[in-house]
Chains A and B, each alone.
Chain A
C-alpha cells in the first residue's frame, strides 16, 4: 500500500527540529550503561587469541600440549580444527573478476599479516586464557613480506596468495564523458600523486563478544559490540550451521564504531562456535593492542591524478589511477570501499569527463574496510587537493576556481559523470555563507603582513558533497552488495497511550533513541518522554539493516516517520468510527501537545489518540475492516541516495623553524537537509571534524619493510585529544532532500569528509610561496619542516 505522505517542512516543529536532552546520556554519563564487557554469565569462559608475530610466514607446526595442560584451560583450537567448527569468512560484496581467496577465522597453514589469528584458548578466567595463549607454541618459517602496494603489483613480488598474480584482487574501472576530448581541449594538465594514508578506527570501546549457546536446545545468543546485529544474524547461522530461527544477536551499548564494527570478525565466529561446542558462554574482549592489528584499518590509497584544465580554471576531465592497499584478505566489505571513491570523484563540480581505474592490491597488512567516510573522504581529498593545485598553477584564487566549476543550484536533480543523481544542493550558497564568516580579503592582507615578519599563515577551503542514505536496494544489488538497503520500523501504542518504537537501525553513539522519539512525538502528538525506542536485538527488532554510511536518519528515520503516519491513519479510521463520521471528515491535530482527532469544522467533537488506543485494545467497537491493536510496521526502501554537502575553511599558522601546525580557526558550514535535532548534528560535525583533522595532522599507520606494525599502541598511533584541536565554528544551510518525506540527508561522516583536505590545503597555502607544492599526510612537524627545507634547497620559492 502506498502511503500518502506529505514532506515535512524544514521549520522546527513542536519537538522535531529542536534541541531536546539526549535520552541516552543519563545512563552513559553516569557509567551505568551496559557494554559487552559488563556482561557476566554463570559458567562463562574466556577466550584469548594467539596472533601471528610475523607479517608473512608458513606455519610449520603448532604445539598446544602445554597450553592444554595449564590450570583453567578448557579448549585450544587451531587452524586444523577450525574447518570442523565453522565456515569460511564471508565476503559481502562482489566485483567483476574479484579474487576472494578462502579465509577461515584461524590461519590454516600460512599467516599473512601481523596479528592474524592462529589459535584460540578458552579458559576459566581471562588470566588463565592469556597464560594459555602464551603457552601455545607455533613454529613459523618466515616468508618475504610485501607492504608497498605498488611494489606488490610488480612481477616477481612476493605473493600474499599464490593464486592471485601480481597480488591484484580486482580492477574496477569507472568512466563517463569523453576523456580524450577533455585532454585534447585542455590548456593545461595538472598532475598530483597523493597518498591517503592508512588509519586505525580506534573507537573508545574496543570490540568484544559474548556467545551463549544453550547446552540442550542449541539456541545461540550472541552479544557483540557491533554496528550490525541484523547482518550478523543473516551471516552467522549459516557459518555455524545453526538454524537462524535459533540465533539471537544483541548489540548492547556500543561505544563507537566508525565503520570498524560494520564487519563480521573471526572472534565473533569463534566465540559462537566454541560456545556451541562447549555448551558454556564464551567471552572475548579485544585488547587495545589487538585493536591495532586485528580490527580493520581504513583508507590507504595511492592516487595518481591528472586533470585537464582550461585556462580559466575549469576542470574538463579527470583521469586517475587509484591503488588501494587492501591488506592481506577480504573482510566483509573490503572490496567495496575503494570503489566508492570514483563515484564521488566529480564532487560538487560540473566535470564533464572522468576516467578512473581502481586497483585493489593484497599486501601483508591488516585488511582495510569501512572507516568513517569509506571511500568518500578519499575522493574529496583527491578532488579538493586537485582544485587547489589547479588554482595555484593557474595563478587563480581557490575560491574563484571552485565557483567556476560548481554545479549550480538550479541544476538539481543533477546527473553526474559517474552515473549518480544528486538529489538537491546549493553549493555556492554554502560557500557564500562560509565566506561571510571569515573575512577572506582581510585574511589575505593579514597573511601578506605576517610573511613580512617571517610568519607563515595559510587558509584552506574544502567544498564537498557526499553520498548517504544507503541504499536503494536495486542499485545496491547492481553495485555488488550482498544485502538490501531498506530499513524497517514498528510503532506501537500501548493501551495507556505510550509509544514504543522498534527500529532496525543500530545506534552506537548517534542518539537514535532521542531522534526517533522526536520524530514519533511530533507525528503522533505524544510526549517526547513517553516514547521508548528499542533497537539492536534481533529478538526484539527482527528486521533491519543496521547503522553505517550515514543511512540511519534518511532510511531508518524515514521508516519510523512512515510507520507513525501509518499508525495515525489506522487511528483515524477508528476515530471516525467512534465519532460516527466518515474517515475523510476526520482530521488529526495536536492540541496542547496532545494528538487528537476531530470532525472537520467541529473541533469539540473529538477523541484523543490515547482514547483511540484504548478503543483499539478493548476492540469492543471497531469498524469491521480494522484489526484490534495499535501497531504499524513499515519497510522503507529509498528511491535514491541523499547527498549532503558543505563548505569548510581552515586558517593555520605554521612555525617555520619547528614545522608545527597550529589551527587558528576552523569554520564549517554543512548542509544535511532538514535537521531532526541541531545538537545531535553539531555533535556529529564536531566528532567528524576531529577525525578528519586527525588524518590531516596526526594519525597514520606505519609498517616497516618486514611488515612489522610500528604503530601498535595509543602511544605511537597519535589520536589527538581535545587539547590538540581548535574550538570549531559551525553553521549550516538547509536544503531539504526530495528523496524522503523528512527531507533529511545524514550527517555522520560529513565532518570527516570535508575537513581533511581543508587542513592540508591551508598548510600548503601557508608554504606555497616557499615552493612547497604538496606534503603527504599526516603533516607532522618533522614532515612539514623537511618539506620547507627541501623547497628552500631547491630554490623553488617566490618572494614573499
Chain B
C-alpha cells in the first residue's frame, strides 16, 4: 500500500461515527468519496492515524427537496446530484456546476458534501453553496448544528468544522422561482479545478431589469467570494455595457487571487470580471425566459 499506516473504522451509523471522531479527534479523518483524501494519503501528504470511513452509513445517501431546500446527504455522490431530476428542475445551477467537477469516474465516487468541507477554493461546489446562501449540517458530541457558508470557510482547505464533527448534510436553499442562472469557468483542461469560476443568479422584473442578482466566485482567493458591491450595483439595472463594466471592476476589487504555475493573479483578476459579465448576461437571458434551462 502506498499510504502510511492508519487504523480503519467503518461505522454504520452517524452516532457511531461521531463517537469514533470524538475519541480520536485530531488523529482521525473522515473518509467519504476519497477523491481528495486518498491521493493525499498516497502521496503521504496526509497522515491521519485513524480513518473513519462513512461509506457504510447508508442513511446518509439521499437527496431531498424539503422546506425550501435541496438537502444533500453526506454520501450523495456528485453523479447522483448531476443525474437527479429534482436538481435539474429546482437547482439547475448546481447541476451545471457539478458537471465541471473532475470526470465521470471522480463524480461517481466523490461526494458533494466532501467537496464542500474539503474547502478547496478552486472547487465548484463551495461556490454554489455561497451563491445559494447554503449551509452544512454537522453532528458532533454536543449535537447538531447548521453552519452557514459565511461561517464555514476560513481559508484554503480550512473550515470551522470541529475535528469531532461529522458533516451529515449540505443544504442548498432553492433559488426563487423564475430566477435565471449561469455557471462558467476557465480551467486548463476539461475536468480540472477552475482557474476562475463564476456562478450567477438573476431575477428580472417585467421590464427586463435586474431585481436581484447574486454572483459567487471560485479560484480567486482562500474561500469562495460573493462580491457584495458588485451585486448591489446590479439592483434595478439593465445589463448595459457600462453597468457590466462597473460590475466587472467591483468583482475585481472584491477578490485577492494568487499567482501559480497555471495563471497569474492579474489574469485571474481580469477573467473574474470577464466571466462575471458573461455569466450575468446568460443568467438574465434565462430569467427572461422564465428561468427554464
Contacts and interface: CB of A to CB of B under 8 A. Distances in A.
Given A702-B261, A710-B261, A659 B267 contact: yes
Contact of B274 (A131, A289, A657, A710): A657
Interface in A220-267: none
Interface stretch (B18-26, B173-181, B190-198): B190-198
Nearest to B265: A782
A660 interface: yes
B1 A718 contact: no
Interface in A112-154: 126-127, 130-131, 134
A781 B191 contact: no
Q: Which 9 A-B pairs have the closest CB atoms?
A: A782-B267, A723-B190, A782-B263, A127-B1, A657-B274, A718-B188, A702-B261, A658-B271, A710-B261
Interface majority SS (helix, strand, loop, mixed), chain B:
loop
B193 to A, nearest CB: 8
A152 to B, nearest CB: 22
A40 interface: no
A287 interface: yes
Given A131-B5, A658-B271, A658-B275, A782 B264 contact: yes
A720 interface: yes
A289 B5 contact: no
Interface string A656-669: 01111000000000
A289 B188 contact: no
A792 B4 CA distance: 53
Contacts of A721: 189-191
Interface of A: 126-127, 130-131, 134, 287, 289, 657-660, 698, 702, 710-711, 713, 715-716, 718, 720-721, 723-724, 780-782, 785-786
B192 A718 contact: yes
15 contacts: A127-B2, A657-B274, A658-B274, A658-B275, A710-B261, A713-B43, A718-B188, A721-B189, A723-B189, A724-B190, A781-B188, A781-B263, A781-B267, A782-B267, A786-B267
B195 A781 contact: yes
B72 to A, nearest CB: 26
Contacts of B145: none
A712 B142 CA distance: 43
A710 B260 CA distance: 10
Given A130-B2, A657-B274, A780 B263 contact: yes
Contacts of B7: none
B186 A658 contact: yes
B270 interface: yes
Nearest to B268: A782
B1 A126 contact: yes
A716 B186 contact: no
A660 B1 contact: no
Contacts of B270: 785
A131 B263 contact: no
B44 interface: yes
A247 B20 CA distance: 55
B44 A134 contact: yes
A782 B187 CA distance: 11
Given A721-B189, A782-B195, 11 more contacts: A127-B1, A287-B2, A289-B43, A657-B271, A658-B274, A698-B188, A715-B192, A718-B188, A723-B190, A780-B263, A782-B263
A780 B191 contact: no
B206 to A, nearest CB: 31
A659 B186 CA distance: 10
A421 to B, nearest CB: 43
A558 B274 CA distance: 58
A720 B191 CA distance: 10
Interface string B257-286: 000011110110011001100000000000
B25 to A, nearest CB: 25
Nearest to B42: A287
B207 to A, nearest CB: 28
Contacts of A724: 189-190
B188 A780 contact: yes
B189 A718 contact: yes
Contact of B189 (A126, A134, A720): A720
Contacts of A723: 189-191
* Chain A contact residues: helix, strand, loop or mixed: loop
Contact of A131 (B4, B190, B271): B4
Contacts of B186: 658, 660, 781
Contacts of A786: 264, 266-267
A724 B1 CA distance: 33
B270 to A, nearest CB: 7
Interface in B184-216: 186, 188-192, 195
Interface string B1-12: 110110000000
Nearest to A289: B43
A525 B43 CA distance: 55
Contacts of B5: 131
A710 B259 CA distance: 13
Contacts of B262: 716, 718, 780, 782
Nearest to B44: A134
A718 B192 CA distance: 9
A131 B1 CA distance: 10
Nearest to B270: A785
Nearest to B2: A130
A780 B43 CA distance: 27
A623 to B, nearest CB: 64
B120 to A, nearest CB: 11
A785 B267 contact: yes
A660 to B, nearest CB: 7
Nearest to A700: B261
A658 B190 CA distance: 16
B260 to A, nearest CB: 8
A713 B192 CA distance: 13
A442 to B, nearest CB: 29
Nearest to B277: A657
Contacts of B274: 657-658
A129 to B, nearest CB: 11
Contacts of A785: 267, 270-271
A659 B4 CA distance: 42
Contacts of B188: 698, 718, 780-781
A698 B192 CA distance: 12
A209 to B, nearest CB: 18
A655 to B, nearest CB: 9
A51 to B, nearest CB: 13
B8 to A, nearest CB: 14
Contacts of A720: 189
Most buried by B among A289, A702, A710, A785: A785
Contacts of B191: 721, 723
A67 to B, nearest CB: 15
Contacts of A659: 267
A411 B267 CA distance: 51
A781 to B, nearest CB: 6
A40 B121 CA distance: 43
Contacts of B189: 698, 718, 720-721, 723-724
Nearest to A781: B186
A357 B43 CA distance: 42
A657 B274 CA distance: 7
A659 B267 CA distance: 9
Nearest to A128: B1
A400 B5 CA distance: 66
Interface in B233-264: 261-264
Nearest to A719: B189
A497 B131 CA distance: 73
B47 to A, nearest CB: 10
A221 B52 CA distance: 44
Query: Which of A126, A657, A716 is most buried by chain B, counting CB atoms within 10 A of its CB?
Result: A657
- Which of B44, B189, B261, B271 has the most chain A CB within a 10 Å cutoff? B261
Contacts of A660: 186
A713 B275 CA distance: 28
A781 B43 CA distance: 29
B218 to A, nearest CB: 15
A286 to B, nearest CB: 12
